[in-house]
């Protein structure tokens, strides 16, 4: 019988076999791909994303005529004095008296052309940018470019100069609308949809940096929804397109040649460009500009509530899974919220069907709703979700959004009210009411002293506790019972409604502490 051939597997031929199997697999896949291509399949490529153009020149040539330089002059009074002397110093007083005594009539004569109070009127000049949105001569820029100006001059790309008048200004969003009278239709640009802008999209910035005239820079959208100011309306686009002083008010374009933002601010330790610029989104700006054109100011919706943000401790005190929404600290009498049944302590979690993530989100949603609009408001009250209907009014110009101070967790002590809350409490009497100016109509518990722990949560001596997590309190015993009930329920924090200087606030405080901070 012939011998059967034995196949001995060694490291060498095993590796060779693996390589052959690998090549066969590649060939099989290659044949499959080629076969697929024959059947109409396509291979995905990077062409699905919009490529960077070889040049922006055609786009710039089309857009630049609608971008203008905005220059302003403003009269200001400046105090004159000996250079190098700090105001109010003894040397300044000495030299003032010295010059005064040298004059025959005893009056100071080192301020020619100035006033008797030692000031002189000077003209300050500032430069910015803007863009034409209507051939009739309507121009958009930043409010801070024209604020306080006595004279505004607009210069177009072809060198024509026009004196501009302010149609309306909005300080909250930092937008101004100007109008010039021209004897011909002016070139203009169109608004784009900033809601469709994505991080990584190409953008162009055209403006008047440092007064040099029309200057173009390119970059990408670096981020969205940046909050860089105290305004609840702050919602900026961030870009690395070079923006410098003088670019304020200029347009940011997408590659379709539409305005997606208004260049407004930069972040810089030196005052120059470091690749971090900010623009007001076009969708926000367009609404404000339309109202400035129609009314001369921005009309905003109004609920009539003072609201506060919700942090983790407050969320725990309210029994919320996560810190979302806005808590109602106070409801104005006869306001839309009061008429709709909204109460202090309610947590607004949605407005007109839109989820509310924080207090600023609510302010923007109410503002955008307009005036006289019937909307729905979803709230949490004592852990139960409910929906109320509200008709918005016009927001008063003096309204501000209350803010809650943040704090840190602190320390345990003995299981007493003072050590738990980190504050000393007292029942109200006539003497304390007079000392802390508390009206007789107010029932509550007075905070007479606070530890560092309570102070870091925002509490102050003189605050009057009105409620503890929804429970009305009129005595120290009431507070003690409310805290005990919360602990029994397993709550780790309490939410106190307080009265301070005629303002109602909600402040939260942990009921469990790990380290002494008093």
> Tens digits of per-residue pLDDT, 415-453?
367 778 888 898 888 778 877 888 888 889 999 888 878
Q: Quick check: is 408 in a domain?
A: no
Give the pLDDT confidence of 338-365 residue by residue, as tens digits: 999 999 999 999 999 999 998 888 988 9
Same domain as 284, residue 307:
no
Note whether 81 and 93 are within 8 A (CB): no
Cα distance between residue 460 and residue 465, in whole Å: 11
Tell me the CATH number at 438: 2.30.42.60
Cα distance between residue 176 and residue 141, in whole Å: 5
Whole-number percent of the chain with pLDDT over 90: 41
Supply the pLDDT for residue 402: 31
Tell me the CATH number at 125: 2.40.10.10
Note whether 432 and 446 are within 8 A (CB): yes
Q: Quick check: is 452 in a domain?
A: yes
Secondary structure (3-state) at 107? coil
Same domain as 421, residue 361:
no
Same domain as 445, residue 348:
no
Nearest to 251 by CA among 267, 268, 239: 239
Same domain as 166, residue 136:
yes
Supply the pLDDT for residue 266: 83
Supply the pLDDT for residue 100: 54
How does DSSP assign 51-76, residue by residue? Answer: PPPS-SHHHHHHHGGGEEEEEEEEEE
Note whether 263 and 205 are within 8 A (CB): yes
Q: Quick check: is 358 in a domain?
A: yes
Tell me the CATH number at 343: 2.30.42.10
Give the pLDDT confidence of 84-125 residue by residue, as tens digits: 444 444 555 555 555 555 555 544 444 555 555 555 667 777
Q: Quick check: is 21 in a domain?
A: no
Provide the number of structural domains found in the chain.
Answer: 4
Q: Cα–chain-centroid distance for residue 32? A: 54
Same domain as 261, residue 309:
no
Same domain as 221, residue 277:
yes
E strand residue ranges, 410-481: 423-427, 445-450, 464-468, 471-472
Q: In the predicted model, what is the mean pLDDT of residues 115-142?
A: 83
First-to-last alpha carbon distance for the chain, in angstroms, is 99
**Who has greater pLDDT, 309 or 27?**
309
Same domain as 239, residue 288:
yes
Domain end residue (candidates: 128, 151, 179): 179
What would you measure as the largest C-alpha separation in the chain, in angstroms?
A: 143
Same domain as 216, residue 149:
no
Q: Quick check: is 82 in a domain?
A: yes
Is the predicted pLDDT of residue 191 greater than 90, yes or no? yes
Q: Quick check: is 244 in a domain?
A: yes
**pTM of the predicted model, to two decimals?**
0.62
Is the predicted pLDDT of residue 218 greater than 90, yes or no? yes
Burial of 32 (0-12, 13-18, 19+ CB in 10 A): exposed
By annotation, the residues acting in catalysis are 144, 174, 248
The b-or-e profile of 166-198 (16+ CB within 10 A means b, else e) is bbbbbebbbbbbbbbeeeeebbbbebbebeebe
Domain end residue (candidates: 147, 179, 211): 179
Residue numbers of the domain that contains 349:
301-394
Is the predicted pLDDT of residue 133 greater than 70, yes or no? yes
Same domain as 205, residue 173:
no
Domain end residue (candidates: 251, 278, 295): 295
Supply the pLDDT for residue 411: 28
Q: Quick check: is 518 in a domain?
A: no
Rounded to the nearest 10°, the torsion over CA 483, 487, 489, 492 is 100
Same domain as 243, residue 226:
yes
Note whether 181 and 137 are within 8 A (CB): yes
Give the pLDDT confidence of 1-34 residue by residue, as tens digits: 444 333 333 444 434 444 444 433 333 333 333 3
Same domain as 213, residue 132:
no
Note whether 114 and 120 are within 8 A (CB): yes
Same domain as 343, residue 279:
no
Cα distance between residue 134 and residue 344, in whole Å: 46
Nearest to 132 by CA among 150, 149, 154, 147: 154
Secondary structure (3-state) at 202? strand
Q: Quick check: is 98 in a domain?
A: yes
Nearest to 342 by CA among 296, 380, 308: 380
Q: In the predicted model, what is the mean pLDDT of residues 218-241?
A: 86
SS3 of 130-177: the string is EEEEECCCEEEECHHHHCCCCEEEEECCCCCEEEEEEEEEECCCCEEE
């Amino acid at each position: 019988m012939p011998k059967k051939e034995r196949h001995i597997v060694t490291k060498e031929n095993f590796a060779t076999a693996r390589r052959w199997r690998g090549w066969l697999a590649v060939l099989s896949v290659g044949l499959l791909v080629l076969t697929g291509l024959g059947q109409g399949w396509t291979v995905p490529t990077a062409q699905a994303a919009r490529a960077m153009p070889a040049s922006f020149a055609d786009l710039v040539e089309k857009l630049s005529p609608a971008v203008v330089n905005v220059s302003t002059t403003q009269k200001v009074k400046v105090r004159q004095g000996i250079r190098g002397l700090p105001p109010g110093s003894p040397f300044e007083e000495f030299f003032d008296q010295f010059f005064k005594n040298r004059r025959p009539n005893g009056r100071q004569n080192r301020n020619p052309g100035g006033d008797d109070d030692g000031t002189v009127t000077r003209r300050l000049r500032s430069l910015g940018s803007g863009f034409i949105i209507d051939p009739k001569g309507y121009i958009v820029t930043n409010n801070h470019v024209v604020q306080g100006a006595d004279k505004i001059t607009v210069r177009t790309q072809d060198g024509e100069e026009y004196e501009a008048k302010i149609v309306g200004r909005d300080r909250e969003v930092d937008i101004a609308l100007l109008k010039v009278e021209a004897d011909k239709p002016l070139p203009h640009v169109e608004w784009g949809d900033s809601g469709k802008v994505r991080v990584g999209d190409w953008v162009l910035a055209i403006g008047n940096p440092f007064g040099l005239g029309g200057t173009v820079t390119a970059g990408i959208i670096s981020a969205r929804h940046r909050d860089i100011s105290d305004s609840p309306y702050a919602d900026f686009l961030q870009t690395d397109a070079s923006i410098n002083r003088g670019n304020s008010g200029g347009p940011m374009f997408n590659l379709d040649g539409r305005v997606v933002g208004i260049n407004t601010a930069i972040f810089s330790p030196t005052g120059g460009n470091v690749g971090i610029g900010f623009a007001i989104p076009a969708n926000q700006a367009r609404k404000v500009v339309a109202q400035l054109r129609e009314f001369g100011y921005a009309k905003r919706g109004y609920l009539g509530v003072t609201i506060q943000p919700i942090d983790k401790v407050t969320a725990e005190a309210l029994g919320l899974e996560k810190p979302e929404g806005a808590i109602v600290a106070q409801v104005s009498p006869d306001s839309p919220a009061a008429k709709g049944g909204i109460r202090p302590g309610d947590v607004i979690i949605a407005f007109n069907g839109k989820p509310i993530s924080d207090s600023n989100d609510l302010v923007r949603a109410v503002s955008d709703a307009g005036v006289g609009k019937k909307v729905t408001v979803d709230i949490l009250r004592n852990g139960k979700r409910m929906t109320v209907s509200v008709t918005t009014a016009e927001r008063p110009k003096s309204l501000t959004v209350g803010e809650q101070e943040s704090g840190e967790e602190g320390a345990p002590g003995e299981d007493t009210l003072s050590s738990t809350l980190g504050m000393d409490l007292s029942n109200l009497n006539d003497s304390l009411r007079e000392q802390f100016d508390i009206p007789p109509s107010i029932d509550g518990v007075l905070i007479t002293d606070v530890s560092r722990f309570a102070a870091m949560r925002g509490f102050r001596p003189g605050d009057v506790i009105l409620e503890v997590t929804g429970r009305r309190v009129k005595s120290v015993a009431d507070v003690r019972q409310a805290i005990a009930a919360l602990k029994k329920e397993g709550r780790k924090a309490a939410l106190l409604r307080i009265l301070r200087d005629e303002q109602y606030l909600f402040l939260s405080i942990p009921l469990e502490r790990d380290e002494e901070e008093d």
